[in-house]
Amino acid sequence: MATHPKVVRSVPSLRRTLELYRKAGERIALVPTMGALHRGHLALVRDARRRARRVVVSIFVNPTQFAPHEDFASYPRNFATDLKTLRESKVDLVWAPSVEAMYPDGFATRVAPEGAAKAGLEDEYRPHFFGGVATVVAKLFTQVSPDFALFGQKDYQQLRVVTQMAKDFDLPLKVVGVPTVRESDGLALSSRNVYLSTAERAVAPMLFRVLKGCASRIKNGEKIQHVLNVGRIEIDVAGFALDYLEARHAITLAPIATPKDGPVRLLVAAKLGKTRLIDNIAV
């Protein structure tokens, strides 16, 4: 009996395996990850399993989306544990390329997304980020050619960017956004949560509480700008260094002044100690 999941590390080997699935008429769902898997990733795998006969999980810490001062070298990696987790989740295939396989010598083409990628949110603080994400995701989409690709809504701007890219490039796949998985106190699951100290971990759920409070006050008719200003002060007082707290159009991520310009998405990013946390919710 084959041991699952099968791990492949080269494009030819990946294509050979996928060809067998396609010949059998099986649909394929892709869950792109950077490893350090948690319950949020497993929610993506479960959703993938409901949609397709075959589930492919990619594990690749993508160097092109990290700036030189960011945590590429220290980003949590634990391939053996990830593999065990994926075996228990009955994943069929793990695509785990090396940096050399993904970006061989002479690699010279990059995707430069605009639209949601230039919304003045994450792009303002990580200007290199979406070019790196769009390039690697474009590669994953063409390597795997899935019917479905699943992304968490926690990285909401990223979800909008890859959805638009798939649409703009006429890629024959459906990008699915899966709701954020949270701890019991509301903190959005993230591989970077391991960086939080015990004291910081106790404060971290405040971000979600502020988002919920803002959403409910906007729903009750309070002016968006006033609500955001109060929310920013609350985040500041709790001890975060706030990057942004914004209300945006849920599809285009353009700024909006009133709920009737909506649908409305609230997005936040803030640092707690050395750890940068992001979150978002629909209004």
Q: Out of 41, 69, 128, 249, which one is annotated catalytic? A: 41
Supply the DSSP string of 93-134, one letter for each residue.
EEE---HHHHS-TT--------GGGGSSSHHHH-TTHHHHHH
9/93 Cα distance (integer angstroms): 11
Our answer to whether residue 41 is catalytic in this structure is: yes
Q: Is the dihedral of CA 164, 168, 170, 171 positive or negative?
A: negative
187 Cβ contact list (under 8 Å, min separation 6) = 193, 201, 204, 205, 207, 208
Q: Which of 222, 119, 106, 200 is nearest to 161 (CA)?
A: 119
Quickly count: other Cβ atoms within 10 Å of residue 6's Cβ: 15
Q: Which residues are catalytic?
A: 41
